[in-house]
Amino acid sequence: MDQKNLNSAKEDNNIKSPSDILRILHIDDDETFLFLTKKFLEQISEGKVEINYLTDSEQALDVVDANNIDVIVCDYQMPRMDGLELLSKLKTQKSEIPFIMFTGRGREEVAIRALNLGAEYYIKKEGEPESQFRELYHIIQKVVDHRRIEEDLIISERRFREFAELLPETVFELDQEMNITFVNNYFLKEFGYEICEINKGVKALQLVSPEDHDIVARTFQKLINEEYAPPLEILALRKDGSTFPSLTFSNVILHENQPIGLRGIMVDISQQKQHEKELLESEKRFRTLFEESPVGILTCDLDGNIDNINKYALNFLGSPSKEETKKINLLSFPLLMKVSFSSHLKQCITKKQEVTSEVFYTSKWGKASYLKYRMVPFMSNGEITQVYITFVDVSAYKEIEKELKNQKEELKDFSSFLAHDILNCLSILEGYTNVLDKDYNKSYIKKMLSQIEFLREFVTSSFDFIQMEHKIEKKEKTDLNELVEKIVKLSIPDSIVCNLEKLPEVLCDPDKLSRVFKNLLDNAVIHANPKKIEIKKRIYEEKLEILIINDGEMIPEKNHKRIFERGFSTKRRSGIGLIIAKKYVEAHGWELRLETTEKTTSFIISIPQNI
């Protein structure tokens, strides 16, 4: 069949063949044999072949370039150009199409030459026709499958190389002698080599600090022998002699199920190493990341059985061991069912979706805390195979949340109280202004000034209250005698006797503590009208106590519990001075309380001696 006949045959199949159709070019000078071959192969393959044929081997050189052909089946002895000449010219043209010599007149030397030139098979036309063509079809299938696999490998290799160039990490390949056969551009920048140096020959051990040579060589041999080896943590060596810690992940490269080298990725872990105090062996690194994680981690199967659990999780639960913990089934354990943990896990498994929640949980071992957890299904081929669960103890955050809520309520109450007192004071001032407009009297002026002084004191105290800290972090050693003497001079008039006992040094915020003593002394002077005030120290129940004692008017017993309430006052005062004093004392981690005797009233600051 000439080129015209070939094109005509192709027009009969103008619908593109799927990838499982074998496209065969058959070249033979015997048209009858070409016809029989076509019929037998179509019948044997059940229509899974597309056969085009030529009687002139010279035309094949043009046809091969212009057509998508999976395999060439060619006779040996033909006019103008025999099969060996055609094979030689095709290889000269860099043709990769598999070539099968199918001839009835072959000698052994012809077969050898054909195979040496690159033919995949040499088959003699002999024997019973159907068996002969079945063997031919089988060989065609084998040859084409092999070629397609090689083409897929080439495509895969190209994609790998393209992907490797995108990665911000070192990617490499080694042969069986540990020669570097491929590196990406990131490697060249990281290690300081030129690609021409790599092409000339660089050994893998040239990139490793000498103290790690042995472990690298051993790991290489394990992987080449298809044995397991963990990610390798080594000191990498640059061309200029500088080093950096690295973690290398490697896999064996197989060709026809035989190891031919390694492919891997090397990660610079310098930043991680700066924060690590101790290093574990490289084969335990991933386990360490799991075990030492600052959050609880556990994995379970689809039946709720725990596969693994880390150290944080065991401590969180108060569990004595992993073995004891694994006895708990996450889907049926009563305590977990009670807090809906089990139902959330079931939801994660059945709906294949992530679940996040918070609960207050008391473990089997009595450990109670607020738990925030996240369940994530692990998917493989569209099916869930495992569930990863992470959780943290959020009890501290809950306490902060509660404290913020209390502060918000406190601020709300205080703002109402503040507005009430200020508006009340302004109303009084406005009233006196109206009276003065009709009846000028100096006593009104004094009362107005008194209201203004009250307002000034109230605003100052309110400002102090708003600025109060719930915990004082920065403290300094302070001489209480020196601090209290200054406050006494400011707050206690000469008409009141003040006895100040020698006081010790304490760790405190001196500004805040000055405000405490000022408020307590002002309170005594204004509300109690004492003749004498004493400031003493004592050791009581292993605590240092500072006592501010006055002999003035007694506080009624009914007011003892209310004395530190916001807004409580026995006179026209702001009523927050004692609150400020108490809050500042408690912010130091101390205690302020009231004690009375028949003749005296004492405010006592109690200081633990270890603070």
* pLDDT digits 0-9 by tens, 330-364: 999 999 999 999 999 999 999 999 999 999 999 99
Residue 34 has what pLDDT?
92
Environment class of residue 435 by beta-carbon count within 10 Å: exposed (0-12), middle (13-18) or buried (19+)? middle
Is 3.40.50.720 the CATH number for 3-153? Answer: no
pLDDT score of 221 more than 90? yes
- What pLDDT does 468 receive? 57
CA angle at residue 236 from 232 to 237, to 5 degrees?
155
Confidence grade of residue 9 (pLDDT, cut at 50, 70, 90): very low
CA distance 173 to 410: 67
Token readout for 412 is 């709300």
CATH of domain 167-281: 3.30.450.20
- CATH fold, domain 293-393, is Beta-Lactamase (3.30.450)
Query: What is residue 595's predicted lDDT score, i.e. its pLDDT?
Result: 92
Higher pLDDT, 160 or 214: 214
Dist. CA 408–CA 402, nearest whole Å: 10
Q: Region 546-573: what's the mean pLDDT? A: 76
CATH topology of domain 476-608: Heat Shock Protein 90 (3.30.565)
The residue-averaged pLDDT of 447-452 equals 71
pLDDT of residue 601: 93
Helix H segments across 73-107?
A: 83-92
Angle at alpha carbon of residue 80, lines to 79 and 83, rounded to 5°: 75
The C-alpha atoms of residue 380 and residue 313 are separated, in whole angstroms, by 26
What's at 442, amino acid-wise?
K
pLDDT per residue as tens digits for the range 532-545: 999 999 999 889 99
**Average pLDDT in the 392-408 region?**
81
The whole-chain average pLDDT of the chain stands at 84
- Who has greater pLDDT, 596 or 573? 596
Q: What is the pLDDT, as a whole number, of residue 415?
A: 67
Is pLDDT at 162 greater than 60 in this prediction?
A: yes
Confidence (pLDDT) at 457: 62
CB neighbour burial string for 15-43, b if at least 16 within 10 angstroms, e if fewer: eeeeeeebbbbbbbeeeebbeebbebbee
pTM of the model: 0.34
In terms of C-beta distances under 8 Å and separation of at least 24 residues, what long-range contacts does 63-68 make, across chains too? 63/3, 63/6, 63/25, 64/25, 64/90, 64/93, 64/95, 64/97, 65/93, 67/10, 67/23, 67/25, 68/23
CA distance 582 to 437: 44
- Spell out the residues 6+ positions from residue 98 whose beta carbon is closer than 8 angstroms to its own: 70, 71, 72, 120, 143, 144, 146, 147
Tokens describing residue 110:
């012809």
Query: Is pLDDT above 60 for 531?
Result: yes
Contact 74, 33 (CB under 8 A): no
Which amino acid is present at 259? P
- Provide the pLDDT for residue 11: 40
Spatial contact of 21 and 49, defined as CB atoms under 8 Å apart: yes
